[in-house]
Structures are given as structure tokens and as C-alpha cells.
Amino acid sequence: MGRLEGRSVIITGAGSGIGRAASLLFCREGAGLIAVDRSEQVHETVKQVRDAGGTAEAVQADAGLERDVQGFIAKAVSTYGKLDGIWANAGISGGLVPLAEQTPEHWTEILRVNLIGPFLAIKHSIPHLVKQGHGAIVCTASVAGLKSGASGHPYAASKAGVISLVQTTAYSLSGTGVRINAVCPGLIETGMTKPIFDNAKERGTEGKIGQLNPLKRAGQPHELAAMGLFLLSDEASYVNGQAFPVDGGLTASMPYAGKPI
């Protein structure tokens, strides 16, 4: 029996990268999935899940809009009769705009998707989870939310906010049986980090990618998916209110050189 057998789970940002890897893994582990992304790529994710024998429905929606969040949570409940877990994974990077050139609008959009999105996922999922007396929530934060030097200002601030949101929510849910944790990816090869890998290839410096962490390599989406699976499963039944780096050991010392690869 899979670790999510019979569970109803939502993953946002499921169109590619970590979200797609998690979708495929969770369905192999028996979950009934609602895959959410504002990109049409979410339909390809669901196709791959179904081709592999899994059960999934695609919802093209914006995880930072309250009406959309209410919609895909209602979709999960109507499709599977319940909601057991949600991974608020959707996020945007915002690039590396110099501080003096950043605008309130730039900050607002990043915070809307990266921080308000997880808040909305929590707000609208907990009534279902609390009612049944169990369930789990995972939010994607970042090593950039733990220490400086890993990304741009608004992105780092949004991810630090996600970590705080997870910690404070854990105490708000005291005694309910509902758990919440965050994963903090390091350098993972996804669409968001594609410019880093492409620039390194153009310079012929691919060998330097990931060299700041003790494993001396970048991570892959399936490695984050595995952590998310653990946190949503009963194997993590006593794990709550934590933020877990999945970064090859980077944040053990965070030896950021301050120079582009």
C-alpha cells in the first residue's frame, strides 16, 4: 500500500519542476490528486500521471487569488469526497533587480503569489482538515528565506514570510490533529532556475553549478518531491511547524561567494 493510499491531495505549481515531480510521485503512492497551475502545462502533468496509472484532475488557476483557491479546494472535496493534504508550492522568482530599481508593484506581485498564496491555501483548507481531525499542509519556502545571499530581496522576504507563516500556523492549529511544515529548496534544476543553468552552459562553467554545497551538485525536483511526500504522510506524524532545507548542505554554513556562476 502506498504512503498516500486513499488520500486526497492538492499540489499548486504542478505544471512543471517540483510540482510535476511531486504530482507523479504522490499518485504512484496512491493519492487522488488535484493538480493546480496557472499555466496550461498542468494538463501535461495530469496526462503523465494518468499515463502512469494515477488518478488526477487538472485545474488551471492562480494560487494567489482567493476565488481560485476556494475553487480548487472545492474541486478536491467534490471529486474525492474529502481533503487530506495540500502542498502550497506555487511561486515566482522576480529576478535579481537592483534594490534601488525595485518598485512596490514588483514586491506586491511576488508577495501575492509566494506568501499570500500559501496563506490562502492554509485558510481555505483547514476547515476541511480540522473537521476530520487530521491532515497535513506543506508550503514551499526556500533557503533564501533562511539566510541572505541566495536570491533577490522580495523573493527572499516572501520565503522568510512563508517560514514564519508555517511556524505561527502550527500553533494556531494546536490540538486539531493537523500538521504544517515547510520545505526550503536550495539550487534545484527547474524552470525557475533555468537562467542560471543556461548562463553557466554559455560560459562553459557547468562544472561550477552547485559547488558551494558539500554535495557539489544541484538538486533535482524529485528530491524535493520525496521530502514533500514524507511530510504529508503518516511517517511524519510527529513532525510539525518546521522548515526543512533540501539543499545539499548549503545552509550548513551558507558559503555564498557573491559572484555569478
Q: In angstroms, rounded to a whole number, what is the distance separating the alpha carbons of residues 166 and 126?
A: 13
Query: 183: part of which helix (H) or strand (E)?
Result: strand 178-185
Which amino acid appears at position 130 of this protein? Answer: V
Q: Are 1 and 30 in contact (CB under 8 A)?
A: yes
Give residue 182's Cα distance to chain centre.
8
Which amino acid appears at position 219 of this protein? Answer: G
The answer to whether residue 80 is catalytic is no
Active-site entry in 155, 171, 238, 256: 155
Using alpha carbons, select from 153, 119, 113 the residue that is nearest to residue 137. 119
Q: Are 68 and 62 in contact (CB under 8 A)?
A: yes
Cell (9 digits) for 141: 519556502
Integer CA distances (angstroms), 234 to 30, 136, 182, in order: 13, 9, 16
Catalytic residues, which ones? 155
